[in-house]
Amino acid sequence: MMRLTYLLPAPMHATELGETEMRRRAGLLAEWSPPGTEITVSAVSRGPVSIESAYEDYLSIPAMADQACASVDAGADAIVVGCFGDPGLDGLRELVRRPVIGPSAAAMSLAASLGHQFSVVTVVEGVRPLLRRLAWEAGLSDALGVIRAVELPVIDLNRDHERAFSVLRGECERVLAETDTDTLVLGCMSMGFLGAAERLTEELGVPVVNPVRAAVHQADTLHRMGLAHSPRAYRTPAKLRQGTNRADLIRTTDAPLEVTP
Amino acid sequence: MMRLTYLLPAPMHATELGETEMRRRAGLLAEWSPPGTEITVSAVSRGPVSIESAYEDYLSIPAMADQACASVDAGADAIVVGCFGDPGLDGLRELVRRPVIGPSAAAMSLAASLGHQFSVVTVVEGVRPLLRRLAWEAGLSDALGVIRAVELPVIDLNRDHERAFSVLRGECERVLAETDTDTLVLGCMSMGFLGAAERLTEELGVPVVNPVRAAVHQADTLHRMGLAHSPRAYRTPAKLRQGTNRADLIRTTDAPLEVTP
Amino acid sequence: MMRLTYLLPAPMHATELGETEMRRRAGLLAEWSPPGTEITVSAVSRGPVSIESAYEDYLSIPAMADQACASVDAGADAIVVGCFGDPGLDGLRELVRRPVIGPSAAAMSLAASLGHQFSVVTVVEGVRPLLRRLAWEAGLSDALGVIRAVELPVIDLNRDHERAFSVLRGECERVLAETDTDTLVLGCMSMGFLGAAERLTEELGVPVVNPVRAAVHQADTLHRMGLAHSPRAYRTPAKLRQGTNRADLIRTTDAPLEVTP
Amino acid sequence: MMRLTYLLPAPMHATELGETEMRRRAGLLAEWSPPGTEITVSAVSRGPVSIESAYEDYLSIPAMADQACASVDAGADAIVVGCFGDPGLDGLRELVRRPVIGPSAAAMSLAASLGHQFSVVTVVEGVRPLLRRLAWEAGLSDALGVIRAVELPVIDLNRDHERAFSVLRGECERVLAETDTDTLVLGCMSMGFLGAAERLTEELGVPVVNPVRAAVHQADTLHRMGLAHSPRAYRTPAKLRQGTNRADLIRTTDAPLEVTP
Amino acid sequence: MMRLTYLLPAPMHATELGETEMRRRAGLLAEWSPPGTEITVSAVSRGPVSIESAYEDYLSIPAMADQACASVDAGADAIVVGCFGDPGLDGLRELVRRPVIGPSAAAMSLAASLGHQFSVVTVVEGVRPLLRRLAWEAGLSDALGVIRAVELPVIDLNRDHERAFSVLRGECERVLAETDTDTLVLGCMSMGFLGAAERLTEELGVPVVNPVRAAVHQADTLHRMGLAHSPRAYRTPAKLRQGTNRADLIRTTDAPLEVTP
Amino acid sequence: MMRLTYLLPAPMHATELGETEMRRRAGLLAEWSPPGTEITVSAVSRGPVSIESAYEDYLSIPAMADQACASVDAGADAIVVGCFGDPGLDGLRELVRRPVIGPSAAAMSLAASLGHQFSVVTVVEGVRPLLRRLAWEAGLSDALGVIRAVELPVIDLNRDHERAFSVLRGECERVLAETDTDTLVLGCMSMGFLGAAERLTEELGVPVVNPVRAAVHQADTLHRMGLAHSPRAYRTPAKLRQGTNRADLIRTTDAPLEVTP
């Protein structure tokens, strides 16, 4: 039995998608999980509406870290970061000794095992450098073909699923026609919850990896094998090791201060 | 439900390990698999006694290919190659449209996702170049630290488990002391069936990946996600596409022929 | 004339170092700057006490982003991030169209131009993976030798300068003895403000780069050349381009929400 | 004086090409060899009709290994593997302490020495991943441009030489027009025996390497220099070192065995 | 105060550009330098008319080395090599213990710090391999996109500035349209003295680095920081260390000699 | 029949080694060449006494280029550069359309084909960066292990052969003990003419490549195959293509000129 927290970096319950979408996602996660998985979809109280830039990626981390720690304290066995940008993955792993899965790393890693070159199709141009870095962090730069963006804001993607699918499929076909790519990764969790990967795998004749499912299965694999990320790679911050409370890592004053020589 | 064939490259029933060891392994595989997995351990009728060189690796492939095709014809949902050298992985994938898992690729890929640098501890010096190539094939050269051999022939390893464990542990400790390795992979299936990875994870404080379990879980992940390796990466051989029987790919004559100008 | 903001990621005025240290640093920055530079040292109102892990690195970004925008609105010509981890560099560059300098990138880049292989000596083990990533982001993985940590917390380093120098020098000597390193980088801003690089350059006979000064000169170079980071590399977040206020990128609710299927 | 065995992986005497083509090839090899070379073209008794996939590549190895050992026992000074896929090269080198030349490695290595970027034009799509791996094994990934296939099965290529040449030339021209390639390699031994490389070198104005001749000359170079592949790179299999007969490496039983837990 | 020698590899005073162009360049260098820089433009007495091949690059080195040593003896604090091919940079650095700046290395290094991928637009096809090597020497291969040549001989470029600019701009636009390049480098000093980089930065909306200015500022940075290239990377030639005069490194006889066995 | 010029970068007839050593080398070259090779050892009239730094490497190029052109005009079929630093290789190849062989590239390329990792043992520390660059230029960075120097000046090496051999052997043994190197290259032509490689191959049990012989055989291979380096990689300098005499590429004036703004 695995208690899995799917951690949303945004307060989705305070956006137009709302709790309804959270429940829909929880349902899909349950459907996609191996038997014996208890799914919780958890949304932070404070964070970016959606993540389409490095800046928004960073904005999401402090609240996610709090929530990840709370989840583990409450008994979660594993955490999946609910954003393809894997925001704060190394930071979260420093805090928590349960598997913390970045869907980007999980999906790229699975894709690399299915062929010789994988490519990523994502939503907005602005995250391409970020995704290239994630491929490097996963040790997979050599297996990465191209990263393409369909320029479909996450919000729109959630509004008109059929149009999103069609735009996505067009870009996937272009990638296959123009490069040696043999395996595709959908570079956005909302794409994953569209069920697009499954349809594309069928229609394009090459494996198209759904990052949501790749992440869930990596969590399950690690949980069953009794493994988590290495403490030598993600060390507990020195101050925490020495007994400081996590809350005391941060200091707040009334105002910034500017001095000149 | 997944019917998983664990395909031994050697006729283990014709070695001193025999059917007993095959049953022991089947038991462990069942214990380590997610619920709903049906395990078959399948040994070829002809193959090398053990694989400790590139030459023996190649010797195992023809019979494994026959067996893999037979397994799939008989309903197998996925195949795990029962050797850490991943012998013939690309060849098998050209023949079979079900997930064929190489434990080396699966274990290295899992290890890479747990830290920044993984290293492999294996049994014999002679397979080190082979394993380096497998890391490259998995797109993971950048994440690979070192490959070390304990010079413990596979046969001996199966004879004295406790001594094997102790030698293994010594080498793992040296790797951790001398390199930036944060995650280890046991580079031999017999090591996997020793249960050594689980003890070492506990005793060394870093994740030590059991390739047997990594392979089984990758098979499960792909099966549940409805994915298999890409047909663009592993094409069905042209002659088979054109209708030739697999048996007719090979031609046999009475004797070799030598000609001079 | 360049108005340069040196942006501290920590509310230094609320730590034991206090405003005094801020003034001392402002003085050194002025001394080290080309004529015509107006230095402001600016500390955020909220942030980590010091940065010795990825988690603390991320904690510092939101307030730094606010402060960077405020500085530029108030007329700053360039910003130097006051931490060798270059926290949030890509995020800040998405927000601000003036040069934003990461001292790590600036120092590594300068070091690479002085020889064939540079190495970094930094303060704590926990930031080594982060620094390796920064070298990659700077496109300099090939020129990087080793990253070594002296395990001297930033706080201690600021308390006993002479001992810090001696520990530092020992590690630098070891790197030169054991590797092909020809150029060194001090991997910590507090080390830079020690004046250690200058003494080590003298005593060791190889260039030792002070990241504080490398950053200030890169700011000056870009300012004089009329250049800043590329908007194609660091795109303005889509929502900001479409008119959303930066403050509205983030949404706050009363509490997190957890749902189950 | 060098006795050189050109080792065909297929029983060519049992195909439509037959002994006649073997003699034609022996004649060309003699013509292309330095004075004092004694050529033997040797065909195995059992093997794939032609090699157009990884699977067929593997099928050819066991019989080639037997033949290679027999050749050396009979006095051969060097062996050229008669297939551009270099099947089993590392395995053969483990068995034989005379130069064993892979034409792919020999041709790529020669091509790399003639310019900055070489590309390969081969016959079938299916072997492209294999050739990319061979470039990596030769340490030449960085110098490799593209690998292109003309989709001309080996058999057809041997039937209509003029058409084959024309298709080949067209693809070579495209590679030169579309990439920075400065040197070409023909990626198929049958192409080599067409004399196509020599005509293309003339007509295209860039060096086009004939893998047959590159291999013969590498054998000659090593033989004259008294060198062979390194025993540290290609170790004699441990069991052979300990006195096992090569024939006893393999074990045969009546039938496969399948067990369940 | 920095005395900076800009060292021309050609006897420009003996070409159609003449002393007038040398003065024009001196003026621009002064204008572009930080306050307190004393510029000298120094032309050798013997060298190639212009450098458009590796051969001409090499021809320029002996006289430049003499001149560089003379400049430093006469009090120069830093030297900028006046050619984008950085001719003899490592050789000059072996002789002189003041900063010797290669504009190619300086410009590429600055460009890499402004984005994720930079590309170079240069004058003649023949220097592209040379520039690729310089990127590698600067440790920046990974950050380099493409190198494109406009096939505009240096002499013509100096004759019709407006046409040169227009051709240049066209190529820059093509690079931006066809690749992920985010930052450009002008790969020729004459282009730099055209003022083209400044106009292109304005018109194309991405940073375009002028190698002249990048080099001057790197010299200034190093001079102010009290740094020069590492003596471990660029060792004083052994014979000079042992007291041989530089002039005696070379030996001259009446005529070549040819012997046969 | 091949007329081969072995081109000495130094006026050896004007050094203490003199014409005698030139004849000795010619004899060895003849002995080591395939039948039908006509050897000429050709020494320039002006050049460095020996090459132990990048600066001396550059000093040798202008006279070598003259001599190479003269040799080819006089009927040479191929040229071997007589220095392991491959001085001016790309420049010479721009001038001459016959094979020009760099012994470093030839030896490294041969070494790479004999195993998985080769290392170089050379004479002086100062040329190590140069050799690393040559490995890169040969496309072989990935296959290169370490470069070690025995700090034995070329002159001393020629004076006491036995001591040189013993020092050399010691370093080779250290490399084999400390690294995964499986093949060695002697990084100096004088070492090659010592016959050291042959003895070391025998005594160390791994292939040790003599760069002299590797170069001669590469020349022979290219000559027999009718190949030379690619004109797309090494373009004839534009001015020469347009009819300028080679002598007119260089311009000489009475004196350098220095101007200030």
Whether residue B133 lies within 8 A of chain F, CB to CB, comes out as no
> Cβ of F152 under 8 Å from any chain E Cβ?
no
d(CA E54, CA D119): 24
Give the separation between CA F9 and CA E83, rounded to whole angstroms: 26
Give the pLDDT confidence score for residue A180 in this predicted structure: 96
| Contact across the interface for C224 and E34, Cβ inside 8 Å | yes
**Test mutation, D113, D144, D180, D241, chain F, max F CBs within 10 A:** D113
pLDDT over threshold 80, residue A155: no
Q: What is the mean pLDDT of chain F?
A: 95
Residue C157 scores a pLDDT above 80 = no
Whole-number pLDDT of residue F160: 83
Res B259 pLDDT > 90: yes
| CB-based contact, B177 to chain A, within 8 Å | no
The predicted-structure confidence for C103-118, as pLDDT tens digits, reads as follows 999 999 999 999 999 9
Asked if residue E154 has pLDDT above 80, the reply is no
Give percent of chain A above pLDDT 90.
88
B178 touches chain C (CB under 8 A): no
At residue D11, φ and ψ (nearest 5 deg) are -75, 75
Which residue in F251, F252, F254 has the most chain E C-beta atoms within 10 A of its own C-beta, making it the best mutation to test that interface?
A: F251
Mean pLDDT confidence for F9-18: 91
pLDDT bucket at A200, cuts 50 / 70 / 90: very high
Note the pLDDT of residue E159. Answer: 79
Q: How close is the nearest chain D Cα to the Cα of B106, in Å?
A: 19
Task: Provide the pLDDT confidence category of residue A156 given band limits of 50, 70 and 90.
Answer: confident
| pLDDT over 70 percentage in chain B | 100
d(CA E208, CA C63): 32
pLDDT score of A144: 96
Q: Is A13 on the interface with E (CB under 8 A)?
A: no
Contact F53 E91 (CB under 8 A): yes
The residue ranges of DSSP E strands in E23-176, in sequence order, are: 37-43, 46-48, 78-81, 100-101, 118-122, 144-149
Give the model's confidence band at C194: pLDDT under 50 very low, under 70 low, under 90 confident, else very high: confident
The answer on pLDDT for F154 being more than 80 is no
- pLDDT more than 90, % of chain B: 89
pLDDT tens-place string over residues C28-41: 999 999 999 999 99
Q: Is C27 on the interface with E (CB under 8 A)?
A: no
Alpha-carbon distance A138 to nearest alpha carbon in chain B (angstroms): 6
**Model confidence at B97: pLDDT above 90:** yes
Query: Which residues of chain F does C180 touch, with a Cβ-Cβ cutoff of 8 Å?
Result: 128
**What are the tens digits of pLDDT across the range F59-109?**
999 999 999 999 999 999 999 999 999 999 999 999 999 999 999 999 999
Interchain proximity B58–D62, CB inside 8 Å: yes
CA B192, CA D233: separation in Å to the nearest integer? 27
Contact C218 E140 (CB under 8 A): no
Rounded mean pLDDT, D143-164: 85
User: CB–CB of B179/B145 below 8 Å?
Assistant: yes
Question: How large is the average pLDDT for residues C128-133?
Answer: 96
Picking from B219-228, C57-66, D2-11, E159-168, which range would have the lowest pLDDT averaged per residue?
A: E159-168
Q: Minimal CA–CA distance to A12: which of C258, C61, C237?
A: C258
Q: What is the pLDDT of residues D83-104, one digit of tens each?
A: 999 999 999 999 999 999 999 9
Can you tell me the ipTM of this complex? 0.96
Give the closest residue to F56 by CA, choosing from D200, E249, B201. Answer: E249
CB-based contact (8 Å) between C236 and chain E?
A: no
How does residue C152 score in pLDDT terms, banded at 50, 70 and 90?
confident
Does A178 contact chain D (CB < 8 Å)?
Answer: no
- CA nearest F179 in B: which residue? B146
Please say if the pLDDT value at position B155 is more than 80.
Answer: no
Please choose, from the candidates F255, F254, F250, the residue with its C-alpha nearest in 3D space to the C-alpha of residue F62. F250
For E243, counting Cβ atoms within 10 Å of its Cβ (0-12 exposed, 13-18 middle, 19+ buried), the class is exposed
The predicted pLDDT at position B153 comes to: 74
The C-alpha atoms of residue C106 and residue C86 are separated, in whole angstroms, by 10
DSSP helix/strand/coil, A222 = helix
Cβ contact C–E (≥3 pairs, < 8 Å): yes
Residue F29 confidence (pLDDT) above 80: yes
**CA of E34: how far to CAs of A207, E77, E217, in Å?**
57, 14, 8
A214 Cα to chain E: minimum distance (Å): 28
Residues of D in contact with A180 (CB under 8 A): 128
Exposed/middle/buried for F231, CB within 10 Å: 0-12, 13-18, 19+?
middle
A:E CB pairs within 8 Å: 3
Q: Which of E59, E65, E70 sits opposite F55 (nearest CB)?
A: E65
Mean pLDDT of chain A: 95
**In chain F, which residue's Cα lies nearest the Cα of D200?**
F227
Touching E (3+ Cβ pairs <8 A), the chains are A, C, F
| E strand or H helix that includes residue A111 | helix A103-112
Name the residue with tokens 């004529």. Answer: C35
Comparing A97-101, A136-140, B203-207, D153-157, which segment has the lowest mean pLDDT? D153-157
- F231 interfacial to chain D (CB closer than 8 Å): yes
Cβ contacts of D46 within 8 Å, gap of 6 or more? B250, B251, B252, B253, D11, D63
Q: CA-nearest residue of chain E to C111? A: E229
Q: For chain B, what is the mean pLDDT?
A: 95
Of B182, B226, B230, the CB nearest to A230: B182
Q: Which residues pair with E41 in a beta bridge?
A: E6, F259
Q: Subunits with at least 3 CB pairs below 8 A relative to chain B?
A: A, C, D, F
Chain B residues lying within 8 Å of D16, measured CB to CB = none
How far apart are the C-alpha atoms of F93 and E53, rounded to whole Å? 11
Assess whether pLDDT exceeds 80 at residue C166. yes
Angle between helix axes F18-32 and F211-225 (nearest 10 degrees) is 50
pLDDT tens-place string over residues F162-215: 888 999 999 999 999 999 999 999 999 988 998 899 999 999 999 999 999 999
pLDDT given at position D202: 96
Residues of B with Cβ-Cβ distance to C129 under 8 angstroms: 116
Give the largest CA-CA distance in chain B. 66
Give B129's contacts in chain D (Cβ within 8 Å): 90, 233-234
Q: Say which residues have a Cβ less than 8 Å from residue C74's Cβ, sequence separation at least 6.
A: none
By C-alpha distance, the chain F residue nearest B128 is F180
Q: Are D52 and D84 in contact (CB under 8 A)?
A: no
Q: Which helix (H) or strand (E) holds A122?
A: strand A118-122
The answer to whether the Cβ–Cβ distance between F227 and D221 falls below 8 Å is no
Give the A window 40-99 contacts with B, CB below 8 Å. Answer: none
**pLDDT bracket for residue D152 (50, 70, 90):** confident
CB F96 within 8 A of CB F79: yes
For residue range D10-66, list pLDDT tens digits in order: 999 998 889 999 999 999 999 999 999 999 999 999 999 999 999 999 999 999 999
Q: What percentage of chain C exceeds 90 in pLDDT?
A: 88
Q: How many CB atoms lie within 10 A of CB B16?
A: 10
The answer to whether D55 contacts B249, with C-beta atoms less than 8 Å apart, is yes
* Confidence (pTM): 0.96
Does residue C133 belong to the interface with chain E, where contact is any CB pair within 8 Å? no
* pLDDT exceeds 90 at position C155: no
**Residues of chain D with C-beta less than 8 angstroms from the C-beta of A116:** 129, 132
- Across the interface, do D11 and B257 touch by the CB < 8 Å criterion? yes
Q: Which residue of A has its CA nearest to D141?
A: A142
Confidence (pLDDT) at F161: 83
Residue E149: alpha-carbon gap to chain centroid: 17
Give yes or no for C230 touching E (CB within 8 A).
Answer: yes
